[in-house]
Structure 1
Amino acid sequence: MANNALGAIKRSLDAHIGQHILLRANGGRRKTVERSGVLERTYPSVFIIKLDEEKHAFERVSYSYADVLTKTVELTICGQDGQRFTISYEQ
């Protein structure tokens, strides 16, 4: 079942490569990290986000699909028409 969920998240992200994305991640010890950038690439186990250069000290971050499944990472896709929606997996 987990493999199907991870595959569904990957397919969902595959459809949004090149789009602007907002990311909220659990940084540990009650810290939340918020970043923005462009979904650059997806791989079998991880996806890469190229961060906005003026806002962040480093260029890219990667997260696993399991992070999205366990809600450690929340992804919001920003569409061209200003529309926003969250990538998640619900049973």
Structure 2
Amino acid sequence: MAGNLASIREQVALYKGMRVKYRTSKGRRKIEEKQGVVLEVYPNLFTLYVESQDSKVSFSYAELLTKEVELEPMSGNNT
């Protein structure tokens, strides 16, 4: 995702209810890659439900802008 915060926010809003793959940096060259469903989209953050952990995680749009988190829709998004 590229652009400014407003365009990133709009793009994430389109993913609401869709299954996505996300990658996040955990420091020291450790990358976590999981799948989840975009639950809610708020003005400053969005939440994902991660089935493998049976939990919710949240990220800010700034994390997408700075590429600390990468988000991509999965094909066959029929949830």
Task: Report if TM-score (shorter chain) is over 0.5.
Answer: yes
Task: Please state how far the C-alpha of 1:15 moved relative to its aligned partner.
Answer: 1.1
Q: Where do 5+ consecutive residues of structure 2 fail to align? A: none
Runs of 4+ in structure 1 over 6 Å off: none
Partner amino acid for 1:26? S
Q: Distance in 2 between matches of 1:47 and 1:78?
A: 17
Task: Please state how far the C-alpha of 1:80 moved relative to its aligned partner.
Answer: 2.6
Q: Where do 5+ consecutive residues of structure 1 fail to align? A: 82-91
Relative to the length of structure 1, the TM-score reads 0.76
Structure 1 or 2, whichever has the larger Rg, is 1
Relative to the length of structure 2, the TM-score reads 0.86
Over aligned residue pairs, what C-alpha RMSD do you find?
1.5
Q: Distance in 2 between matches of 1:9 and 1:79?
A: 20
Aligned length: 75
Task: Report the equivalent of 1:85.
Answer: none
